[in-house]
Each structure stands twice: as C-alpha cells, then as structure tokens.
C-alpha cells in the first residue's frame, strides 16, 4: 500500500538516529577498509574470512579501477547494497548532502562494475568468470541481485533518481537470458532466496508483470529437481571447471529438497526459509495463487506454533543456522539470528496482505521488539548475530559448542549480514504499521507517527500517539473525506482496553484480533488499557523451558541479568508479585523495569568438596529481582542473562 | 602387585564370555575386512575415514607382503594391538588353540612389519617415511607404541612367549635414539599420551629402570615448550616437508599448554588427560616423586569434585571430546567417551598405589559399572562411544549438534578405539580388585573370584562371594601363613553394614573409607548390609541437573527408558517411594529394577495450536515408573532415556 509516514516516536527515533549518526558512517568506514575497526569471528572456524570487509575494493577491482583479488564471502557485495538501502532510507527521512554524495559514489561504482551484458557479482567477475551461474548452491549471485534490487528501489524512492533501477533492469535481463524452463537455460534457483521477494517489490514499484512472473518462476522451480545443485557441479567437473564439493549438498538447508508447494515444515537455514516464505506470500497475493498461500500458511503455522522462541527468534541450531524439529527450543545453544527475525517480519507483513489476522502482526511485533532490536547495542556500534535466551560467559569462552553465543556484542563481523539488515529495517518501519484489505485500513503496529495512507483511492490522514510507560494509552487521529473502516489490532499484552471516540465509549466488533470501527471524516480515537506483567509458560513439550516462566510487559519480553541479580541465575526462582518501575538510566535509555519477589537456592557448606550427595530438600533465601527488557541485555557489563526463569 | 585371580562372577562372566565368543572373533573379521560388517560414522563429518578397518592390510603393506596405500586413521595400528591384548587376556583365562593361532598370525605380522631400526607405525612406513616423528601433534606413533607395549605384556603373560616383548624393546631403542634432551634429538612428546603408562607397566614387568625413566621423561617434557608441535611443522615446511596445519594447534587439547607439574585443571581431550594422569600417578609412585603426585592429585580432585558425571563419564563437550569448565555437565550434548571412563579407571588404580583412599576405588567402581559397560550392548556386538545421560532419538537425528549422541549402539565405527578398550579392560578386571600398601591388603572391588595375591612376600589365598540382588552380602575367605591386615572398602552405597568373623561381630577401625581388620591365618569374613535406593542430587552449580535427582542402587546408576515409561520423560517427576524388583529378562539378563511412584505433567487440550500461554499451575497424573540400570539402556527398542529426573 502507498503511504507517506513519518515516525515521531521517542523509542524508535533513538534507533533511527543511531543508524544515521553512528551506523551508516561506521559501516561506510568498514566497507572502505578505513578507520580503526575490529572485526570479530562469528565463531571459532578458521574457514571464515574475517580480516576486513574489502567490499568496496571488490567493486573497484570488478570495475577495472583497481587491481587485486576478491576478498570476503561470496555474498560480500550485498553488504554494499544493504548499506545503500539503509542510507537511502535515512536520506528519505532527512536529506543530507554529505550522505547523498556517499550514496552516489557507491551508485557510480556499481554502474561501473556491471558487465556489458548486465551481469554483476564481483567474486565471479574477478575470480571465476567461467563459473558465472554455475555454482548456484553457494554463489549468492541472485541473492546479491535481490539486495541490489531492494537498494535500487530505496534509492529511487529517496532521490527520484532511477539510475540504479536501470542497472537492476539490465541485470534482470541478463538473468532472464540465462534462466528459464526453455532448453539450454538454467532450470533452477539460487542457493539463497532473496531475489524472489525483491522482484515482487520491483513489480509493486514498476507494475511490470515480468518481474512478478520471474519471482514466481524462481519459487516454483526450487526443489523441482533436488539434484539440481549437484548436477551443476557434476556438469562443471565434466567440462573441467571448478572444484568438487567435499560433501553431499544438504538440500534441506536450501529448502530445495522438494517443491515449495509440498513443503510442510519450516526446515533448513532459517533466513533462507523466511525470505522464501515472504516471497511466497507476496506472490500468492499478487497472482491470487491459493495453493501458494496454503503452502506459505503451513510454513507460518509450523514456525509460530512449534518452532519460534518467545523472543520471536528462530533457528534452533548453530549448525546450518537452522530449524530442527517441533518444540526443540534450547535457550543456550540456539542460533536465533537477527536476520532471521527480520525475515520473519517480512513474512508476517506479506501474510497480512493476504489475510488480515492479528496473529501475523503479533508475531511481527514480537520479533521486532525483542530479537531484531536486541541485535544492536544502545551505542549503535555493536551487534549480535546470535540472540540467545540464556548466556553464561564462561560457557561461551570454554565450551566450544557455544562459541557462537557471544556474551557481548562484537563491533563487526567478517560476515556482516545482520547490522545493515537492522539498519534498513528500522529505517523503513513505517511500512509495517498499516495494511489494507478491501475497504478496511488495518493498524498493525503502534508507535508515534504522522502522515497519509491511500486506501481505495481515498487519502487518509493519520496520526498516532502512544504511551506504554505506566498506564497504556493510544491516541489515533484519522481524517478522510469519506467514511472508512478502521481495524485496530488488539495487542495480546493489553487488559481492560477501552476505546473512545473523542470521549465517548462505544461498541465495536472484534474480527480476527482487530477491533473494527467505522470512521467518518475526522475522528479521534482514544484507547486506554492496562499493561500487566504477564508470566508466560511454554508448551510442555519444550523441554528446555520445563518449570520455567518468561515475563512480558507490553511488546517486550524481559530477562534477568547478572548485573542486577548476581551470578547463578539458574538458582533463582520467581514468585508471582510484580511491580514496574520507570527508570531513566543513562546507559539503557528510558526503561520500564520489573521488580519481582524471588528466591535463590542456597549452596550450603556441605557442598564443599562434593559434586553429588543424597537428596535433601533445597533451601532458598529471599531475593529481590530486577528484570529488564530483553533487547537491552548486555549493554552494561558482561555477565549471565536468562529469559526463562524457574517458577516456584 | 602380583596376583593370580580367576573371576567367577555371574555378572562379569557374561561380559567375559561375550568378549571371548562374540567380540574377539567379530573384531578379527573387522580388522581383516572380512564378513558382513556395517561401519557407522562417529558423527556427521565427511573427513572421518569409515569405510572399512584395513588395519591388518596396513601391516601387510608395511611388511611388504601386500601392495597399496594405508587406509584409516593415523592410529589404526592400535586397533590391532588392542585386539591382541584382549585376545591374550582371554587366552590367559581359557587356553584355546584356535585363538593362539590367530594371535600368532598377528604377532608374526607385527614382527615382519617392524623396520630394521625398530620403527613401527604403518602409516608413516607406507605413506610418509620422511615424516617419521616429525608431526607428533597428530602422528600417534608413540600412542600406538604404547598399545603395542601393553599388548606385548599381555601376550607374554598369557603365553610365556617374549617375541613381542623383543619387538617392543627394539622399538623403544629406536625411540630412545630419536628422543631426548640431548642436542639433535626430539625434545617433545607424542600428541596422544599412552606410551607413558605403558612404559611403567613394562618397567613393572621387566624391572628395567630405563623404561620408567623414559616414561618420566615423556611426562616431564610435555608442555615445557608449548610451541613444540608448531615448531615441528614450521621446521618441516622450511625443509619442504609436509603440509601446513590449517589452524593454530590447540595445545590445551593435548595437555601441552604447560608442564604437567603446573596443570591445575582437567583440561583438553578427556582420554589424553586421564591416560596422562594415570602415568603421572604411576611414575610418582615408582620414583617417589611427590611433586608429580601432587600434580596428579590436583587433576584427580578437579575431575571428581567438579567435572565428572554421576555415571563416571567425563568430557563435557563433543568438540575436542574434552573437558570444559567446573560444574558444566550437560546431559544431552556431552561426550562421555567409553575410553575416557576406562582411562579414569586406570588413573584411579594408579592413585591407589600411592595412597589407599577409598574415594579412588569409589570412582573406579562408578566408572566401571556405569559408563564403561554401557559402552557394550548385551549382544556383545554393538557399542557406544558416547554415553549420554539424556537421549531423545529425534534430537540425535534432527539436531546436527547432537549427531554424535547415538540413540542406538552402532555395530562398529571407523574409529574403533572404544570396543577393544572395553574388551582388554573387562578381561583384566582382576587387576582392579586389590591394592597394597605396606602390610595391608586393600579390597577395592567386590565380585566373585578366587585366587592368590602376594603381599610383602606373603602369599594370601583369597575367595570372594557377593550378592547384591535383594539383601547385600559379601563373603570373603582369606588364608595366609602369617597375620596380615585387610582393608575392606566400605562402598558408598551400603547401609547398616555388619562385618562378622565367621559368625561373630567385632569392632573394626575405619581409615579413609576402609574397614581395617587384622586377619590371622584362615579367616572367613561375612559382610551383610542393606542396599537402599539412593536419590542423588548434583551440586547446585550444575545447571543441567537443577531440580533433578538420579537414582542409584549398589554401584549402579539408574535411568528411565521410554520402553517402560512412555514418551516425554522430561515431564515426569519422581516422588520418594521406591521398591526394587529382581527380574530375569531374556533381553537384559538378571536385573534389579526400581519401581517408583511418579507423576507426569498433563498436556491439556488448551495447548493445541499454542506454543506459549499465560502461566497456570501445571497438573499431573500419577505415573508408575520403572528404572533400570543405566548400563542396560538401549538394549530393547530405540527411545528416550534419562538419568536425571525432575523431583517433586
């Protein structure tokens, strides 16, 4: 839907400012290998390139402006594209000539690096032109193309300049020349989904059906021949090209084990899965493809009913950064990549186009307010890729199977997918607030903003003001020349909600989690509600949460940190009295903490020099507990953290 | 100490018969690549050689009897040596001409494969003679030499033939020519400790001081220069030999990060650590080296007070099959290798030489009756390397970080270290029963046996009969021409123990866990005691055992299996009423099971289509529980298993 909205929310503006003032310039330095930047290892694995970014230099070499070898991941180009997309988003919010110059330098370089025939992927251009599109399981050529498309759309929206769109259209012609069901063309898709969702966006902007068709084609060809990737490698070997892959290709990892229509579960690499599912939902919407929608919905259900952390994190295992099986949600070995939760937001947003059901927005909000923003420190310069629900710094250091679970946010990684993904998402948050269906405008997220949305050729002026600090209130001003229907998502975390038109209470119907209200011309709605502290429990089959609870207040899941609660958090159990406290901590910002009564198991003297002993009923001492919002963890000192806490 | 003892114990004879009748012939076929044998992968790792053993063929190639390449691990030779040691142990128990022929075929082959200068290691002989002793971090040359020494000792003890001892002495001369503190010699030790403990054994048999000295030298040189292994590789590269190692050598893994005297903790690869520590204790004893004993004791304490599972398993992580940190004892991701618990028995036995403290024997027994024998199925043909305390077959299949945790015992692995290690240990169990100190004979393990031990030139005839089925009783007949002191270990698992001489009760002193009794000439001691079911709890810092108990009766730790108790064992909690039931199950043998009252959390209908919900006090149903001894798990059908069970 078309909207022009400006976010004026204290909470979110802090993030947007951090992105503008800290992250964009910081990442600029990273991409240019300048400045004093420490690049950390994602985990202990010697095969991970991590000395420097080299991303801009790769483009210069591909453009012939510089000499040398490609360095970094096969998807290193996408770091540049995601930076550009974020920069464009920021520029759209607040024009800044310095930023425009930086963007244009990058756009020039991309134009210059593109091959005559439209091809663009610096690794293959520099190191292995003979292998272009011939190692799709790992090449990320179309993945990068997808990110370039998204960057081009953002850049055009921000600057009205279609130079990058032209690069993109030339690249797509190149792709169309190489891919397709016709004899002699490549009949398969990239090993990392992304172009599929980007092509739909491009279709939405350009209205050119071919992009929608190409997206659908990539979705439908996936998994038709599970041997496709292996056959490419065999074919390469036959004609003397390229190296062998040392072990069998795990097609589930790539969601290429069966056609998307037949995929019953969320399986394989989590980011790939949600990027694919988002595109499925998008394509289903635009092509009215019910079968595709059913398949997307099946994947959605499997995620949110069986495979999602309470923080909106997904990906239960580090190996393959992947889904495992139903109810397998370990809290201290999981992956829960920031990018995967961002992808889950994409997926939710795309599902909302198809059917207005508040559940999609609930999950979108859960991912956004917890795992997504947990990915970034309050200084805007340190980032989590992995978002654990339980951390012990000693484990991260001394148990090699937890080396991926960082106890502190590193400044930058060799694989820099997450930070720029956060940046582009948080600078385009206004796109997640509303959705439409027929004559109804759906309000999915609540944050202070002002602007206009267009629904069925009707321009609607909207303004929102929200307070979640002590008592909850939302004021919503809506103005349109004709009556429209407004559907307000009722968050799962409110109680005793009252909706008033101006000052009068009135009756409203609740449909699939939305309060549906007819609005005539200019209306002010005042919503008031309590925001209780809710103790959640997980499905009993979630072994790792047995006997434990997780606190939530508003959209925020809470955690205990060692800083406030001491060591050995696993020995703490929570009672059920809570009160909230609004703090303004210089290091954490404006913060609602939860104070709770708890108990902590005593380690008595008898335990000295003993590892096991006969059972005695354990003793506890009273313990005052302080919970903070999960996304704020590890912004003070390194220490233990835990979301799921034993319940007395 | 010198002893001639025959075990006549129903429980242990079943194992010894299985080894004799099933395992030795089975492994013979494996080593010869004959028969229809499935070789499983230890875990999902393409770099692990696992098609076949090829071990005998490697010797034939090295001997020039056959042509081809070496196949398998660098330590493949040790499979042959461990087979030979087990076979010799079996032959000593019951002579069998067929077995003698098989052994002699192997001995001939070993003799034939040895180089003129005494060198013996088929990989380097066949594939890389220029690298002999030049890649010690991984070469396992001295590790294999250690196993050859142990095999030679067993072979001589069983046959009175010293042919292999001669091979061994020639090999040691070769080693002495290459290693030493003198200029020009190699001033470092093998990457896998084993020769150290073997050399002490050889010293004990031959009384040749040089072997003890060499063992001490290998122990003392370790870690003196933590860069030693890397320097070897650098030196190789300098003179154009051999490949680079792709990542820095983790010296902690090899316990080569500091001198053994300075090692404060049990760190690195668990098997390496306990093999080293056993040798340290042995050398300390024979050389009266207090500093070495102190170091060994420090490692012992760290293991048993902070890093050992209740099953006697050690090695908390699969990566490096290693120790991690204090109280880190996860039940479902650990390694707990069978070989490591065997090594822990070696270590305990060696410590008992130095100081008679029942704790060493308690731990030795714990390892033996639980993790060690859990390594072998009741059919004698299937083996665990990894001995988890909690298994869910779905996790093992679908969570790649648990691919090493097998839900069923595979028949054979490419890396065949554990099965032959079980075989050689269980066929030499009589060596673990007694120890001596000054004029006292210590009884450390209880099992039916008969024989003679020599203490201070006194020959003592001993006979033991034990019953643990319902009430506990031990009868001990001792006969010596002069009075001796007998120290009977008081197991941790007895209650109300009464010791009678013939029929008369009497007073005895308890010193460091032993009941010390003076015996004159021929005495019959009758011990009677209760064997209660004990509920153990773990130190509160063991996060994974929080709120849980583990049952033990006698030396056996117990577990719940899905076969008896249904799925979702984590939802079960145990109350505190137990009764025992003696069963004679055809598939599990004579078995004392524990029947207990329990409760199981109900998964109510409200949970359908929900992953999280507001906390409600969970409901439970009554549940009759059946616990079986841990070592017998997975001998019926595949399913869940759990040692630590929630306690109400």
B398 with B283, same domain: the answer is yes
B496, containing H or E segment: strand B495-501
Provide the 3-class DSSP secondary structure of residue A83.
helix
A352 touching B (Cβ < 8 Å): no
- Quote the Cα angle for B80-B83-B87, to 5°: 140
Beta bridge partners of A603: none
CATH number of domain containing A73: 1.50.10
| pLDDT of the residue at A576 | 83
DSSP assignment of B586-635: TTTEEEEEEEEEEEEE---GGGTT-SEEE-----EEEEEEEEEEGGG-SS
Q: In terms of residues, how long is chain B? A: 648
B267 with B128, same domain: the answer is yes
Distance from first CA to last CA of chain A, Å, rounded?
48
A250 with A126, same domain: the answer is yes
Q: What average pLDDT score do residues B102-122 get?
A: 98
Q: What are phi and psi of B433, to 5 degrees?
A: -75, -45
Tokens of B563: 């076969």
CB A547 within 8 A of CB A647: yes
Which of A253, A137, A234, A157 has the alpha carbon at shortest distance from A202?
A157
Count of CB contacts below 8 A, A vs B?
A: 141
**pLDDT, tens digit (0-9, with 9 covering 90-100), for B426-453:** 999 999 999 999 989 999 999 999 999 9
Alpha-carbon span A40 to A606, nearest angstrom: 43
| pLDDT of the residue at B40 | 64
B134 with B273, same domain: the answer is yes
Catalytic residue among B321, B561, B599, B640: B321
Tokens of B119: 């060198």
DSSP secondary structure letter of residue B23: I
Q: What average pLDDT score do residues B363-387 get?
A: 95
Residue A460 pLDDT exceeds 60 = yes
A193 with A245, same domain: the answer is yes
A402 with A505, same domain: the answer is no
B509, containing H or E segment: strand B509-511
Q: How far is CA B68 from CA A200, B81, B111, B543, B566, in A?
A: 59, 21, 20, 52, 52
Alpha-carbon span A506 to A500, nearest angstrom: 6
B551 with B481, same domain: the answer is no
Catalytic residue among B174, B339, B415, B417: B417
| pLDDT of the residue at A44 | 55
**pLDDT, tens digit (0-9, with 9 covering 90-100), for A176-200:** 999 999 999 999 999 999 999 999 9
Provide the 3-class DSSP secondary structure of residue B335.
coil
Range of the domain at A523: 438-530
In this structure, the dihedral spanned by the alpha carbons of residues A93, A95, A98 and A100, taken in order and rounded to 10 degrees, is 80
Residues 515-534 of chain B whose Cβ lies under 8 A from any Cβ of chain A: 534
CA A2: distance to chain centroid? 22
Alpha-carbon span B288 to B283, nearest angstrom: 8
A429 with A445, same domain: the answer is no
Which of B224, B339, B221, B351 has the alpha carbon at shortest distance from B279?
B351
CB B87 within 8 A of CB B152: no
Alpha-carbon span A18 to A422, nearest angstrom: 11
| Residues whose CB falls within 8 Å of the CB of residue B240, separated by 6 or more in sequence, listed in order | none
Q: How far is CA B379 from CA A115, A386, B16, B21, B393, in A?
A: 66, 45, 12, 10, 21
DSSP secondary structure letter of residue B367: I
pTM above 0.90, yes or no: yes
CB B473 within 8 A of CB B528: yes
Cβ neighbour number for residue B519 with a 10 Å cutoff: 20
Q: Which of B497, B530, B563 is the last residue of a domain?
A: B530
Q: How far is CA A36 from CA A52, A79, A83, A226, in A?
A: 11, 19, 19, 45
- CA A270 to chain B, closest CA, distance in angstroms equals 14
In chain A, pLDDT over 90 holds for what percent of residues? 85
Region of poorest pLDDT, from B33-42, B60-69, B429-438: B33-42
- Quote the Cα angle for B84-B86-B87, to 5°: 60
Which of A546, A571, A598, A608 has the alpha carbon at shortest distance from B546?
A571
A497, containing H or E segment: strand A495-501
Which of B258, B214, B249 has the alpha carbon at shortest distance from B229?
B249
Alpha-carbon span B607 to B586, nearest angstrom: 41
Strand A522-530 and strand A514-519: pairing? Answer: unpaired
Residue B45 pLDDT exceeds 70 = no
- Cβ distance of A401 and B570 shorter than 8 Å: no
CB B240 within 8 A of CB B131: no
Cβ neighbour number for residue B294 with a 10 Å cutoff: 12
Region of poorest pLDDT, from B317-321, B372-376, B502-506: B502-506
Known catalytic membership, residue B417: yes
**For chain B, how big is the Rg over CA atoms in Å?**
25
Residue B460 pLDDT exceeds 70 = yes
* Among A344, A401, A562, the residue to mutate for chain B (most B Cβ within 10 A): A401
What is the ipTM for the molecules in this complex?
A: 0.95
In chain B, pLDDT over 90 holds for what percent of residues? 85
Strand A484-489 and strand B440-443: pairing? Answer: unpaired
Q: What average pLDDT score do residues B94-115 get?
A: 97
CB A129 within 8 A of CB A62: no
- Cβ distance of A615 and B647 shorter than 8 Å: yes
Alpha-carbon span A123 to A57, nearest angstrom: 11
Q: How far is CA B635 from CA A194, B375, B397, B628, in A?
A: 48, 11, 19, 11
**pLDDT, tens digit (0-9, with 9 covering 90-100), for A277-309:** 999 999 999 999 999 999 999 999 999 999 999
Between helices B10-18 and B418-426, what is the axis angle to 10°?
A: 130
Cβ neighbour number for residue A264 with a 10 Å cutoff: 10
DSSP secondary structure letter of residue A240: T
Closest-CA residue of chain A to B252:
A398
Distance from first CA to last CA of chain B, Å, rounded?
48
Tokens of B244: 């680079």
**Which residue is listed with tokens 């025959």?**
B6
DSSP secondary structure letter of residue B217: H
B357 with B471, same domain: the answer is no
Q: Within a 13 Å sphere around the CA of A149, how many CA atoms are in the beta-carbon half?
A: 27
Tokens of B343: 């090594």
Q: Which of B478, B507, B530 is the last residue of a domain?
A: B530
Closest-CA residue of chain B to A248:
B46
Cβ neighbour number for residue B521 with a 10 Å cutoff: 11
Q: What are phi and psi of B101, to 5 degrees?
A: -60, -45
| pLDDT of the residue at B298 | 98
- pLDDT band for position B582 (cuts 50, 70, 90): confident
CATH number of domain containing A455: 2.60.40
CB B179 within 8 A of CB B139: no
- Cβ distance of B324 and A571 shorter than 8 Å: no
Q: What average pLDDT score do residues A580-600 get?
A: 86
- Cβ distance of A305 and B610 shorter than 8 Å: yes
Residue A258 pLDDT exceeds 80 = yes
Q: What are phi and psi of A38, to 5 degrees?
A: -95, 130
Q: Which of A371, A401, A433 is the last residue of a domain?
A: A433
Residue A13 pLDDT exceeds 70 = yes
* Among B265, B612, B614, the residue to mutate for chain A (most A Cβ within 10 A): B612
Q: What's the total number of domains in chain B?
A: 3
**pLDDT, tens digit (0-9, with 9 covering 90-100), for B141-161:** 999 999 999 999 999 999 999
- CA A611 to chain B, closest CA, distance in angstroms equals 5
Across the interface, which of B401, B547, B609 has its CB nearest the CB of A333? B401
CB B114 within 8 A of CB B58: no
A286 with A251, same domain: the answer is yes
φ/ψ region of A421 (left if φ > 0, alpha if ψ in -120 to 50, else beta) reads alpha
Across the interface, which of B394, B542, B612 has its CB nearest the CB of A538? B612
A417 with A461, same domain: the answer is no
Alpha-carbon span B424 to B130, nearest angstrom: 33
| pLDDT of the residue at B47 | 54
B65 with B92, same domain: the answer is yes
B557, containing H or E segment: strand B556-561
Residue B42 pLDDT exceeds 70 = no
Strand B589-601 and strand B3-7: pairing? Answer: unpaired
- CA A328 to chain B, closest CA, distance in angstroms equals 8
DSSP assignment of A92-106: HHS--HHHHHHHHHH
**For chain A, how big is the Rg over CA atoms in Å?**
25
């Amino acid at each position: 839907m078309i909207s022009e909205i400006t976010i004026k929310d204290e909470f979110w503006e802090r993030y947007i400012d951090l992105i503008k003032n800290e992250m964009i310039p910081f990442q600029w330095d990273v991409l240019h290998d300048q400045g004093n930047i420490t690049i950390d290892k994602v985990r202990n694995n010697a095969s991970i390139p991590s000395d420097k970014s080299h991303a801009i230099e790769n483009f210069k070499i591909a453009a012939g402006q510089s000499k040398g070898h490609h360095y970094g991941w096969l998807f290193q180009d996408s770091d540049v594209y995601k930076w550009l997309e974020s920069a464009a988003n920021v520029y759209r919010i607040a024009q800044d000539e310095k930023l425009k110059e930086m963007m244009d330098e990058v756009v020039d370089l991309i134009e210059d690096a593109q091959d005559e025939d439209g091809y663009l992927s610096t690794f293959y251009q520099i190191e292995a032109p003979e292998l272009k599109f011939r190692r799709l399981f790992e090449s990320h050529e179309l993945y990068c193309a997808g990110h370039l498309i998204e960057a081009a759309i953002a850049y055009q929206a921000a600057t009205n300049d279609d130079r990058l769109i032209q690069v993109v259209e030339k690249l797509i012609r190149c792709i169309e020349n190489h891919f397709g069901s016709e004899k002699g063309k490549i009949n398969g898709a990239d090993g990392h989904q992304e172009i599929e969702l980007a092509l739909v966006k491009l279709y939405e902007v350009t209205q050119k059906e071919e992009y929608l068709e190409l997206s659908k084609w990539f979705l439908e060809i996936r998994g038709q021949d599970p041997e496709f990737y292996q056959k490419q490698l065999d074919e390469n070997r036959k004609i003397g090209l390229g190296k062998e892959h040392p072990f069998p290709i795990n097609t589930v990892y790539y969601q290429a084990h069966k056609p998307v229509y037949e995929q019953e579960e969320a399986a394989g690499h989590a980011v790939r899965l949600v990027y694919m599912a988002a595109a499925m939902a998008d394509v289903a919407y635009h092509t009215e493809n019910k079968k595709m929608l059913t398949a997307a919905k099946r994947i959605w259900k499997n995620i949110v009913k069986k495979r999602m952390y309470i923080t909106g994190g997904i990906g239960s295992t580090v190996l393959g950064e992947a889904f495992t099986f139903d109810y397998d949600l370990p809290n201290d070995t999981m992956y829960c990549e920031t990018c995967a939760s961002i992808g889950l937001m994409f997926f939710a947003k795309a599902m909302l186009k198809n059917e207005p059901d508040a559940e999609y927005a609930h999950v979108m909000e859960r991912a956004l307010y917890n795992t997504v923003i947990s990915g970034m420190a309050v200084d805007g310069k340190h980032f989590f890729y992995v978002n654990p629900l339980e951390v012990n710094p000693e484990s991260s250091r001394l148990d090699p199977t937890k080396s991926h679970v960082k106890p502190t946010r590193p400044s930058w990684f060799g694989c820099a997918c997450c930070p720029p993904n956060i940046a582009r998402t948080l600078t385009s948050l206004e796109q997640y607030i509303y959705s439409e269906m027929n004559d109804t405008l759906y309000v999915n997220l609540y944050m202070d903003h002002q602007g206009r949305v267009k629904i069925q050729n009707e321009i609607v002026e909207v303004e929102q003001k929200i307070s979640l600090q002590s008592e909850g209130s939302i004021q919503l001003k809506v103005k349109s020349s004709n009556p429209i229907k407004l559907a307000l998502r009722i968050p799962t975390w409110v109680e005793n909600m009252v909706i008033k038109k101006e000052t009068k209470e009135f009756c409203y119907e609740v449909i699939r989690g939305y309060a549906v209200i007819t609005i005539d011309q200019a209306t002010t709605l005042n919503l008031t509600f309590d925001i209780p502290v809710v103790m959640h429990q997980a499905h009993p089959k979630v072994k790792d949460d047995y006997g434990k609870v997780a606190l939530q207040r508003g959209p925020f899941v809470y955690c205990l940190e060692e800083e406030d609660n001491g060591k050995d958090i696993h020995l703490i159990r929570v009672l059920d009295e809570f009160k909230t406290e609004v703090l303004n901590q210089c290091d954490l910002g404006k913060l609602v903490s939860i104070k709770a009564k708890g108990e902590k198991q005593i380690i008595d003297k008898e335990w000295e020099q003993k590892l096991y002993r006969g059972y005695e009923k354990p003793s506890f001492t009273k313990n005052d507990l302080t919970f903070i919002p999960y996304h704020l963890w590890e912004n003070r000192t390194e220490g233990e953290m835990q979301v799921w806490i034993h319940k007395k």
